[in-house]
Amino acid sequence: MMSIKKIFFFLFFGAIILCPLVFFDFSSGVSSENRMKEKFPEFPAAVSDLKTFTGRFETWFNDRIGFRQELISFYNKTFASVFGVSPVDNIALGKNGTVFLTAASHAKVRHDDILSAFGGEQDWENSVKLQKKLIEDAWAWIGEAGVKTLFLAVPTSPVLRFGDLPDFLQKMIDKKKVENPPITEALNNFLKEHPPAVGSFLYPLEEAVRLSKLHHVYPQKNFHWSVSPFTVLVAGRLAELLGDDPPRPSSGDAFRPCVTTSDLSHLMGFVMHNENDLCPTEEFLHEFPLVHYNFKSPPPSLSLLGDLQAAAYWANEKGIPKNILVIGDSFNAALGLPLSRIYKNVLTVDYWGIERQHKDQVETILRKIRDEFQPDAIIFVSHNYFWPIARPAFKSLKSGNKKHLHNRDKMCTRADYL
């Protein structure tokens, strides 16, 4: 007769085996690894298809087995905490609790990826030439735009937190090139040839370095930006280049220390936190009667927004009466709110989001944006380089309204009026 101990162990391990099956997940959608779950494969029509079927079936099964996310989270967190090594190839664990996104585990790929974070490649001189070509294209576009245009390039976390990169990554980059990245050298060279362009291009590396002495402008484990003292600073600099005065908070502190969830948690497989972040205070958020619209709640005056998941609109009745159109990458999401504290109407558009959502209709959509929103100024935003404006789709943004047309050689900054 089976002993009580054997029965207990039989039931215990049987439960361990059966529980994941009892809680089997039959849903579709996005997996914990931020990819689409494998669909159930078609049954093989021939013996030669059997290997493909079994491979896809295994992936389908693994994507849905019960407690999958909990087990992955436990394993990855233990691996990172105990051994101090990232459990995934595209994440590097830095110093002071930092985390950095890299391309892959292969040394050359990672090397190129870190170099690209500085706006460069292994051939540094060629990087400067490429950066200058982007600036020249943008300057030529400004001369034909018919509307006031600014170009913003944003430094990224490896630039601003170079000292927190893992040692093996720091050794791949010459420290002098961190202090003077290709974009800085290219812009300085271009401004020597075209001094009036100083009012149209902004790469706020110096401002970020100064601000980071008070508080790190980049949270410990984030890849994307959030509304922060740095994004407010950048919005103010842009307003100055447009000839306007940014507002100041009426009283009190605009930001407070806070702990936030890392936007790289889904890649690591467990929840990570930024323990050194700053969050806007309620006073800062509600100092002005701001109204925020997105594609789920488009304003009646901008019907196009109802179809654009990659766009957002802010309205501030007390703001400077200008329509500011921002086009670019993910920095837009953090720039919209600070700009809306300054201007009456701000529309931010994620260009890559439009390309993903609408593919071949980008030019048509940009033309509709111009016609419906009627921008007084356009700001192009990108990380590590100035926006590649030579894309044909951007021709549709050139306004036929000549009242905004300005002579590039007579442009000046707000400081020139003081």
In a domain, 417, yes or no: no
Mean pLDDT across 165-172: 81
Q: In this structure, are 164 and 57 located in the same domain?
A: no
In a domain, 95, yes or no: no
pLDDT tens, residue by residue, 186-199: 999 999 999 999 99
**Token output for 209:** 């370095």
**Token output for 295:** 């594609």
Q: Look up residue 89 and give its DSSP letter.
A: T
More confident residue, 235 or 330: 235
In a domain, 35, yes or no: yes
In a domain, 39, yes or no: yes
**Token output for 100:** 């950095």
pLDDT at 202 over 60: yes
Q: In this structure, are 156 and 293 located in the same domain?
A: yes
Q: Please give the Cα distance from 234 to 217 (Å, whole number).
A: 12
Confidence band for 135, pLDDT divided at 50, 70 and 90: very high
Q: In this structure, are 45 and 186 located in the same domain?
A: no
Confidence band for 165, pLDDT divided at 50, 70 and 90: confident
Residue that has been written with the tokens 């700009």 in this structure? 339
Q: In this structure, are 33 and 157 located in the same domain?
A: no
**pLDDT at 89 (0 to 100):** 76
Half-sphere exposure of 368 (CA within 13 A, CB side): 15
Q: In this structure, are 78 and 139 located in the same domain?
A: no
Q: In this structure, are 65 and 136 located in the same domain?
A: no
Tell me the whole-structure pTM to 2 decimals. 0.77
More confident residue, 120 or 396: 396
Q: In this structure, are 39 and 160 located in the same domain?
A: no
More confident residue, 214 or 7: 214
Give the pairing of strands 311-316 and 320-328.
unpaired
Backbone dihedral angles phi then psi of residue 296, each to the nearest 5 degrees: -85, -20
In a domain, 318, yes or no: yes
Among the ranges given (54-58, 324-328, 343-347, 386-390), the one the predictor scored with the smallest mean pLDDT: 54-58
**pLDDT at 401 (0 to 100):** 45
Q: In this structure, are 132 and 67 located in the same domain?
A: no
291 beta partners: 315
Domain of residue 365, residue span: 123-251+287-412
Q: In this structure, are 322 and 188 located in the same domain?
A: yes
In a domain, 299, yes or no: yes
In a domain, 302, yes or no: yes
CB 28, CB 39: distance < 8 Å: yes
**Mean of pLDDT over the chain:** 80
In a domain, 166, yes or no: yes
Half-sphere exposure of 241 (CA within 13 A, CB side): 25
**How many folded domains does the chain comprise?**
2
Backbone dihedral angles phi then psi of residue 232, each to the nearest 5 degrees: -65, -40
Q: In this structure, are 228 and 162 located in the same domain?
A: yes
**pLDDT at 122 (0 to 100):** 66
Q: Measured between alpha carbons, how far is residue 252 from residues 256, 281, 282, 286 in Å?
A: 10, 9, 11, 13
Q: Measured between alpha carbons, how far is residue 206 from residues 117, 179, 225 in Å?
A: 16, 9, 18
Q: In this structure, are 213 and 295 located in the same domain?
A: yes
Q: In this structure, are 407 and 327 located in the same domain?
A: yes
